[in-house]
Structure 1
């Protein structure tokens, strides 16, 4: 029998570490070749790590939420034959080096001993936070907090004359258990249970157990839940924080009359119903943006602020911000400049559905040059979208509403919509950003221009 070490693979794009988000095996399990062992999260997508060989799991390389360096040991398997663990490497857990062999430096890096404890992974931080909160849970009669305990524990506490608010809880999620009452009674030996009253005949009166009642209307919502931020949610948080910290955003909001645009969209859908993809507002916006960036190439760009280089792109790889069950993702509509309205609608629907189903590939989630975001009916009046770093612009769509406006000296009802867009002020001047949005506006308010090259 030998030992086979599976290392964290190099997934590409210069990624130095990944986050371990799921184990599909445990120590002692038998695995076969190509069986998925773990899921790791890059800054773009979740990647499955399969086993190249069959064997039995000896050790796992970390807990959920831990950052794992590319090339580091991920898992050890016991396999038939020699395996790939070279002579002199650190032995697997539970195996001893033969006494006759001289001691050698391990070839596989081992965990160093820290004078100060090393940083904890997310799961360990959450566990310790819960334990600390439970250990510190000694209130001073707070009227808004009711101790957590079962009816049996409450009855015994009443019989012993122990206020539950004074008891240190050690049970799960801060629950007081019987052992906590015993510990409190030992620490306070002067406590005595209430003496039951007696009737005139001398017979004790049957004890009436106090039924806990709600202290106030806030009690039923006075609960807490600790949720570790790991996986995709952590990647989203890190990316948003990094973009907001590094990019000096400025936003520009413009009102657009989309009455004619909506009329054209309805006519096209009625004309091609059942024959072509149904048009939403997004393909029309994509087309308007494609036409506008031809005049303003500095908007369709990516800025590498570490080396100080702006790369302008001729092709429009347009990110479509998409809300999924796991958080916000940005699948990419590649070569939007080469798509007509219906092909654009079909491709938007395809990549968005792939993102929501968790089936989008790394290629479908990377490489965008400008991003379009929309909250649909929830779009509000205006917002300040965060730029998808390292891009330099993002266009946001707000809710479409009917409003009275003045046209030719008369008040008429029109369908109006705002575009709320953000730009990187390091490389995009305010005048250029405004002119770009005005170019988009010009196409949308005269929708015949959508079909003019």
Structure 2
């Protein structure tokens, strides 16, 4: 028998460590060659680690959520071969110690949450008043009698309060000759929710500690870094999308085998057409080097909600696509992100991001910039409202209109308020006159 130490390999350029997001084996289990050992997450993607040998797992390097340095031992496997076996050494120093020391160590199968040990009551605390035994002949009413048939003595105010709370006064212990508000308070405090339930109220649920790991931790770190480093400002304006919605409906009615169009492809076309006039919007800011790079191509990040959390797949060279091509690419990338099949290069390199909550878009949003980009655009939900307009005779008329607010958050170190407002006005012109989206 021999032991093979599997060291975490270099899984990406510039990656110094990776996070354990899932174990696929337990200590004491047999693993076959090329079978999955663990899922490791870097800043860019989740990578599956496969076993290079067959054998029994005897040691695992940490729990879900732990960070493992590149080059440190991830797992130790006892093989059937004779002689000591080890993974090829790396230049990276080993910093992470093995947690499980023996084959009999505790199995690691999921995130374990410590449950607080109940503490004994401290001396000097007032004991809960004793509660009468349950009424054997059925519950009494709040204005009725005790278990022994004696009439409950209480003021009208106490009776009214007990009725509102759904409390049976026959179960409340009185310290004096009648039940007072203090007695009712003591019953509510010490009954633990037994014997009453306020009408229309919800019962409290147990607290649920959840370890922040994997994608959720990456999102938390990135959002915190963005808000900490970038002085955000948000500009919001209203757009009349009535004509655009009519055009979209006509195109969908005659799309044939092409994908159904949402509002997003039209907005992306408008974004790409206005970028050349406002190059400071499509940029990334390296604040350590003090360099702002304005990009000629629009690599548009598309914020996508998945079961694992928010991901941002990238539409490469969005400026070269028409609405049909954009619709296909949006569907493909969103599906890849939600199923975990998006490639590393499809999740990095964006120069500008758009984020949309669809029908949940709200009146206005203040989206957080996808650092190191300098701007993020957020269309909000479409609502129908009456608006004033001029009729052909020059008079006023009221008509139905579909309106949408559009938000843009910018890095104030790079983009001025005037630039952001002017850019949104240029977008508004294209959106409200959609034929311009297809004009050369």
Q: TM-score, normalization: structure 2? A: 0.75
Asked if 1:236 is matched to 2:219, the reply is yes
Distance 1:347 1:414 in 2: 30
Distance 1:448 1:23 in 2: 54
| Partner in structure 2 of residue 29 of structure 1 | 29
Question: How far apart are 1:43 and its partner, in Å?
Answer: 2.5
CA RMSD of the aligned region, Å?
Answer: 2.8
Distance 1:388 1:227 in 2: 25
For the 8 Å contact 1:374–1:398, the answer to whether it is kept is yes
| Partner in structure 2 of residue 71 of structure 1 | 71
Distance 2:369 2:348 in 1: 14
Q: Which of 409, 427, 430 is matched with 1:440 structurally?
A: 427
For the 8 Å contact 1:41–1:231, the answer to whether it is kept is yes
Q: Secondary structure at the match of 1:127?
A: coil
After TM superposition, the structure 1 = structure 2 runs for residues 298-377 of structure 1, keeping only pairs within 5 Å, are 298-377=280-359
| Partner in structure 2 of residue 429 of structure 1 | 416
For the 8 Å contact 2:68–2:96, the answer to whether it is kept is no
Distance 2:251 2:87 in 1: 67
Question: How far apart are 1:82 and its partner, in Å?
Answer: 4.2
Q: Which of 127, 131, 139 is matched with 2:113 structurally?
A: 127
Distance 1:142 1:376 in 2: 55
Distance 2:330 2:307 in 1: 18
Q: Which of 195, 201, 210 is matched with 1:214 structurally?
A: 195
Distance 2:69 2:244 in 1: 51
Q: Do the aligned partners of residues 40 and 141 (structure 1) sit closer, same or farther apart at CA in structure 2, a change above 3 Å counting?
A: farther
Out of 385-394 and 224-233, give the one that drifted further.
Answer: 224-233
Distance 1:142 1:255 in 2: 62
Distance 1:302 1:214 in 2: 62
- Alpha-carbon displacement from aligned partner over 1:180-231 (angstroms, at most 9, x marks no partner): xxxxxxxxxxxxxxxxxxxxxxxxxxxxxx9983355368315222222211
Aligned length: 355
Question: How far apart are 1:135 and its partner, in Å?
Answer: 3.2
Q: Which of 262, 267, 271 is matched with 1:285 structurally?
A: 267
Q: Secondary structure at the match of 1:221?
A: coil
What stretches of structure 1 of length at least 5 have no aligned partner? 90-106, 113-122, 144-209
| Partner in structure 2 of residue 49 of structure 1 | 49
Q: TM-score, normalization: structure 1? A: 0.72
| Partner in structure 1 of residue 40 of structure 2 | 40
| Partner in structure 1 of residue 180 of structure 2 | none
After TM superposition, the structure 1 = structure 2 runs for residues 190-205 of structure 1, keeping only pairs within 5 Å, are none
After TM superposition, the structure 1 = structure 2 runs for residues 128-143 of structure 1, keeping only pairs within 5 Å, are 128=114, 130-131=115-116, 134-136=117-119, 138=121
Question: How far apart are 1:33 and its partner, in Å?
Answer: 2.0
Distance 2:407 2:72 in 1: 44
Question: How far apart are 1:4 and its partner, in Å?
Answer: 2.2
Q: Do the aligned partners of residues 372 and 142 (structure 1) sit closer, same or farther apart at CA in structure 2, a change above 3 Å counting?
A: farther
Question: How far apart are 1:420 and its partner, in Å?
Answer: 1.0
Question: How far apart are 1:13 and its partner, in Å?
Answer: 3.9
Q: Do the aligned partners of residues 61 and 269 (structure 1) sit closer, same or farther apart at CA in structure 2, a change above 3 Å counting?
A: same
Asked if 1:225 is matched to 2:208, the reply is yes
| Partner in structure 1 of residue 244 of structure 2 | 261
For the 8 Å contact 2:69–2:94, the answer to whether it is kept is no
Out of 243-252 and 70-79, give the one that drifted further.
Answer: 70-79
Distance 1:110 1:414 in 2: 61
After TM superposition, the structure 1 = structure 2 runs for residues 76-225 of structure 1, keeping only pairs within 5 Å, are 76-79=76-79, 80-82=81-83, 84-85=85-86, 111=97, 127-128=113-114, 130-131=115-116, 134-136=117-119, 138=121, 213-217=194-198, 220-225=203-208
For the 8 Å contact 1:2–1:85, the answer to whether it is kept is no
Distance 2:126 2:364 in 1: 46
